[in-house]
Amino acid sequence: MRFVEPVTLTGCQWAVLEPMELRHEPELLEAARDGELWKLWYTAVASPDAVTAYLNDALKMRNELGALPFVVRRLSDGKIVGSTRFFNVDAQNRRLEIGHTWYSRSMQRSGLNTEAKLLLLQHAFEKLQCIAVEFRTHWFNFDSRAAILRLGAKQDGVLRNHQVSPNGTLRDTVVFSIIASEWPTVKAHLLHQLAKARD
């Protein structure tokens, strides 16, 4: 049995996280078109001609490395509005990373994003008994860095020249985490944020 098994996570008002499958390709493409997210040079959202490869890579990561990629559906109408995943899974040390996250522009900074993160973190800390959950983002992805901090994560550091980006530039990666002892406070904060969030 794997540390991370496929599971559907359903929120109370905004989000449903469903294990990603190849059949989700058309809906993911439609979601990415809202804001033409593939044009952001500092993040990795599949362009229209690369969605199949994106899905195949996500499923390969699931099958070979124990990751769990999700599509994110809007609870109100079932429409796919983004994607996220558990990956860099370290079962022995009960750690994982939440990342490869993107949302249609119309859903960014919404209650849906907050509830999706709550569902992921709740599953990681309360079901999987993780001792830490990590988040990483590009130094220049200022929106992502701010969103991670709003969750209640703390910055651990910056990995300088960590990766070569698809466009050939060198990526400095900002690393954040939430540890198990912080989870009750972070959970209370996210529930408070949800209570006042917009859909």
192 within a domain of the structure (yes/no):
yes
Q: Which domain holds residue 177?
A: 9-196
**What is the structure's pLDDT at 35?**
62
Q: What is the CATH number of the domain that holds 14?
A: 3.40.630.30
184 within a domain of the structure (yes/no):
yes
**What is the structure's pLDDT at 106?**
79
Q: In the chain, which residues have pLDDT < 70?
A: 35-50, 198-199
Q: Which long-range contacts (CB under 8 A, 24 or more apart) does 64-69 make?
A: 65/89, 66/2, 66/3, 66/4, 66/91, 67/4, 68/4, 68/5, 68/6, 68/7, 68/19, 69/19, 69/20, 69/100
Count: domains in the chain? 1
Instruction: Give the tens place of pLDDT for each residue, 101-157.
Output: 888 877 777 789 899 999 999 999 999 999 999 999 999 989 889 989 999 999 999
3 within a domain of the structure (yes/no):
no
105 within a domain of the structure (yes/no):
yes
